[in-house]
A and B are shown apart, each in its own frame.
Chain A
């Protein structure tokens, strides 16, 4: 099959239309993807942002040819996922959540093996392994078994292993989950370098900040569907970079403060006395908000500035908390309390 229409017209490297997938059998059959539409343009970074169970990994597994969708179509690097899986595989790389390197091989051996499996000639494979070790700051550790590496080093090596062939499209499934802040920063640097060299990146993450740092476009995935899409700046503008949180003594006070600040009156439950309002995080902005509170004559018991959680994003952009299962006709949405790393 030749390059498809979508690719011929514009520089589209991933196009998914109506992807559906369910796991399990019979009555226990659980839909995971409920009609996902996505587009990734050449040279672009798209972040699929959502909580655990939203369908991020399933989307990546489908687009990287590991599992076939129940319904829907997708082209990757110009080829149909199902009919031309072999050609898609020559043009992509997948770095999953679980590190795909052998702890009992050295860093160099792991990369060399991957380069050989990508069918680089011996000498080229050796050269490429050394080049990647250098680029990922692993040359000093190249001869050590990976079992002795730190978590951050393993992730870097894993990423390098996915780059032996300079793929057209790279899939990165939650690249920094479980890393400490410093390793996370280092990982972001590495990913930016990779993108700068022309690889289109399809990224999944549960961290709002990560999407903000790396992505040109963010797609919010919620209950097996893309709930909202846009540039991170747009997203942040709507959510607010920082939230001012005010805990009041009574629900009446909370209602008054909320009205004065022009935000929705908090609903019942444990949170009914807490008012949250978006701010740009500057001193002037916060001062103005606090002045507004003062004018009501109500004294908050406590106030706090915090970065938005994934929940805040979903609440603001979709009007409801993030759900882990596709919107069914019945049943309550599952609430998520996953914190977004600051």
Chain B
């Protein structure tokens, strides 16, 4: 292995151990989305007409929200590294710059796969029935990972920039808010026109539509055929573009902050 690979693997291992042992945030990351899922399904769901059972409509959005929420924990982990002594020590060693950030990103991806699986399990238990075949599943997981990857890099950027744990945790609210103004819980057509403009064009909507189209294709509201393909392309472009943007900015800010 090259030195760079050793650094990256070692720091990814570190990130995973830290995430695994932070039981509190792990539970929060799974429990909160489950509560939201139950609330939307049983409290609001009855009043919302989405053309299909509400759990079928909302689950893809909830899964996305889980992923985003979990990624936000990365902002706090990075902030902790920056304000503690760890970054100073790593910088005084021949460790490739920025690999510590990569370690956090890898840990976030694994953590979010786990919490997402938990939320999916609960959704299945209360009536979510995906129609996806193996290929669709693969596609949905792939798009979700791309989304988590992009969100995580934005969380890393926040972690590098902020100067307190409180500010880092504030990022969570921003990430939690985005899916509400998308097609996650209600079709965007039901929103006022000014909000619809934002909801239709923000990155979360094409990602949700793609996951919905892949997991529960054929149900009312889920895109199919060309619409699905176009949405998927848009989702991938958004996620990759944002990841490149945020990763670049985070690495740049990391190198500058002293």
The chain A residues found within 8 Å of chain B, CB to CB, are 61, 64-67, 86, 89-90, 92-102, 104-105, 109, 113-114, 116-119, 145, 158, 161-162, 171
Q: Using Cβ atoms and an 8 Å threshold, which residues of chain B touch A161?
A: 89
Which 10 residue pairs across A and B have the least CB separation, nearest first?
Answer: A98-B85, A100-B85, A100-B89, A94-B92, A104-B21, A116-B10, A64-B92, A89-B94, A96-B85, A100-B86
Partner of B92 from the list A89, A105, A119, A145 (CB cut-off 8 Å) is A89
Query: In the complex, what's the smallest C-beta–C-beta distance from B1 to chain A, in angstroms?
Result: 10
Q: A67-B258, A97-B85, A99-B84 are in contact. Are A92 and B92 (CB under 8 A)?
A: yes
Contacting pair A98 B84 (CB below 8 A): yes
Picked from A67, A109, A118, the residue with its CB within 8 Å of the CB of B94 is: A118
Give the residues in chain B near A92, CB-CB below 8 Å. 92
Q: Can you report 7 A-B residue pairs in the complex whose CB atoms are below 8 A from each other? A: A66-B92, A89-B93, A94-B92, A105-B14, A113-B10, A114-B89, A145-B21
A118 to B17, CA, bound (A): 19
CA distance A105 to B77 in the complex (A): 14
Taking a contact as CB atoms under 8 Å apart, the answer to whether B85 and A105 are in contact is no
By a CB distance below 8 angstroms, the chain B residues around A113 are 10-11, 13-14
Residues B88 and A94 in contact, CB atoms below 8 Å apart: yes
Residues on B lying within 8 angstroms of A by beta carbon are: 3, 6-7, 10-11, 13-14, 17-18, 21-22, 84-86, 88-95, 258
Cβ-Cβ contact count across A and B, 8 Å cutoff? 75
Which DSSP category, helix, strand, loop or mixed, fits chain B's interface? Answer: helix
- Cα–Cα distance between A95 and B93 once the two chains are bound (Å): 11
Extra contacts, 8 of them, besides A90-B94, A162-B89 (Cβ < 8 A), are: A66-B91, A66-B258, A94-B89, A113-B10, A114-B89, A117-B11, A119-B3, A145-B21
Which chain A positions have C-beta within 8 A of B10?
113, 116-117
B205, chain A: closest CB distance, angstroms: 37
B91 CB to nearest A CB, Å: 5
| Chain A neighbourhood of B7, CB < 8 A | 117
B108 to chain A, nearest CB (A): 16
Closest to B84 in A: A98
Contacts of A64 in B (CB 8 A): 92
Instruction: Give chain B residues whose Cβ lies under 8 Å from the Cβ of A171.
Output: 92
A257 to B236, CA, bound (A): 86
Closest to B21 in A: A104
Residues of A within 8 A of B94 (CB): 86, 89-90, 118-119
With both beta carbons as reference points, the residue of chain B lying nearest to A110 in the complex is identified as B14
A96 in contact with B88 (CB, 8 Å): yes
Question: Hey, which chain A residues are within 8 Å of B91, CB to CB?
Answer: 65-66
Chain B: which residue is nearest A87 at the CB level? B94
